[in-house]
Amino acid sequence: MTQSVVVQGEDMEPNCIGGRITGLKARAVLVDMEEGVLAEILQGPLRQLFSSTQLISDVSGSGNNWAVGHHTYGSVYREQIVDQVRRAAEHCDCLQCFFLIHSMGGGTGSGLGTFVLKLLEEEFPEVCRIVTSVYPTAEDDVITSPYNCVLAMKELTEHADCVLPVDNQSLVDIVGKIQHMSHTGKPSCVIKKNSTIISGQGGWLDQMFSDAFSKEHQLIRADPKHNLYLACALMLRGNVQLSDLRRNIDRLKPTLPFVQWNQEGWKTSLCSVPPVGHTHSLLALANNTCVQFAFGQLRERFVKLYRRKAHLHHYLAVDGMESAGFSEALSCLSDLIQDYTHLECPLMPNAPRLSIAT
């Protein structure tokens, strides 16, 4: 799960508060089938949060092969992973959720990551599983990444309660924008990395809400406003009042198409404590049909390789991997795309209510 860990490390670096967190250990299990990144973390600014007993690593990597991560390493490290997770879980008073962070393109994150997801379902069936999946860019240098992504997506569809897809290209774009802004040095500009929002300090609250729904601020490359919202959660932190929230929902609602059966599909939350270094932040989590296009492109890239059976033998050589796995993963993805398409034309518009004989 190389990438995600690195992303997290970078994000938190500027806000590191050093000595004050010495007594705390992250409720986390870090898994990688190489040693480099984990070693970096243990020497990095967040080293105090982790101890080496929380790490599970190997030396040889998964060679960008989902099957190696999922089947080979899965069976080798199964016991060890369950053991570590159980130990972390036993430290919780009230375990609510597992939060899995991984990438889709490589071998370890996608293969072993989705194996861990399945393990969590087996071992802790009542605890919900939320997954953040980082998708590779189309120009990814890993040639087999479409295979890895599609194989992993089947597992996510079947075993995750909720998936937050993140497109690497969107992250790159946002980082570029942040760098551009900090170099041009706009006065009073505060940049919020964690909240996906870039917004000004001092009363630009409404702009922050508008940004959260604009194409430029999405974590996947898609335009939610031109697609259908199934539901949307808004999480506000810092100096924001309930009235600000209601006002902005009322203001934006006419521009946001919501599915007919969930016209009031908003979930909101307020926390008066802002993220470190900011006055306020907004996180908008939306279930929107715009994801189907990104998935459609991914399917095209998969089919291009799969039609020629390119690189298939690398996968099929792995114990436990069968060729049917590919066609099943493909049809699973197609179904998912279709499900999202169907939502745009309602199945039963105005279903008649039950009538009572009088």
Partner 1 sequence: MSIVSLQVGQCGNQIGHELFNAISGDCNGPNRKTYSECSNERFFHESPTGELVARSVLVDMEPKVVAQTISKACKSGRWRYGDEAYFSQKQGSGNNWANGFCVHGPRHKEVVEELVRREIERCDRLAGIFTMMSVAGGTGSGVGTYITQCLRDMYPQSFIFNQLTWPYGAGEVIVQNYNSVLTLSHLYQLSDAILVHENDTVHKICSRLMNIKHISINDVNKVIAHQLGSVLQPAYTADSSGYYSRNPIGELLSSVVCHPEYKLLSLCNIPHMSSTSLAYSTFNWPGLLKHLRQMLIASARMEEGIDWTVSVPSAVTSGGESGTNSRQKCFNVSIANLLILRGKDVSTAQTGKLLSNICLEAILKNVNSFSAWNSPVPFNGYQKSATLVSNSQSLLKPLDNIVRKAWDMFASRAYLHQYTKFGISEEDFLDSFTALEQIISSYTHL
- Cα distances (angstroms) measured from residue 86 to each of 1, 92, 123, 296, 354: 19, 10, 9, 37, 48
Letter string b/e over residues 129-161, b meaning 16 or more CB atoms within 10 A of that residue's CB:
bebbbbbbebebebebbbbbbbbbbbbbeebbe
Instruction: Quote the CA–CA distance of 275 and 286 in Å, as a whole number.
Output: 21
Residue nearer to partner 1 on the CB measure, 78 or 246: 246
**Closest CB 81 distance from partner 1, rounded Å:** 25
Instruction: Quote the CA–CA distance of 116 and 118 in Å, as a whole number.
Output: 5
- Cα distances (angstroms) measured from residue 120 to each of 23, 78, 97, 113, 332: 28, 11, 10, 11, 21
Instruction: Quote the CA–CA distance of 135 and 168 in Å, as a whole number.
Output: 6
Residue nearer to partner 1 on the CB measure, 16 or 235: 235
**Closest CB 350 distance from partner 1, rounded Å:** 8
**Closest CB 180 distance from partner 1, rounded Å:** 38
Q: Which residues bind partner 1 (CB under 8 A)?
A: 93-94, 96, 230-231, 243, 259-262, 264-267, 346-348, 351, 353-356, 358
In the chain, the amino acid numbered 50 is F
Residue nearer to partner 1 on the CB measure, 144 or 292: 292
Residue nearer to partner 1 on the CB measure, 17 or 356: 356
In the chain, the amino acid numbered 222 is A
**Closest CB 152 distance from partner 1, rounded Å:** 22
Residue nearer to partner 1 on the CB measure, 189 or 256: 256
Residue with tokens 């087999």: 144
**Closest CB 163 distance from partner 1, rounded Å:** 15
**Closest CB 213 distance from partner 1, rounded Å:** 18
Instruction: Quote the CA–CA distance of 294 and 273 in Å, as a whole number.
Output: 35
Residue nearer to partner 1 on the CB measure, 93 or 141: 93
Kind of pairing between the strands at 30-32 and 55-57: parallel
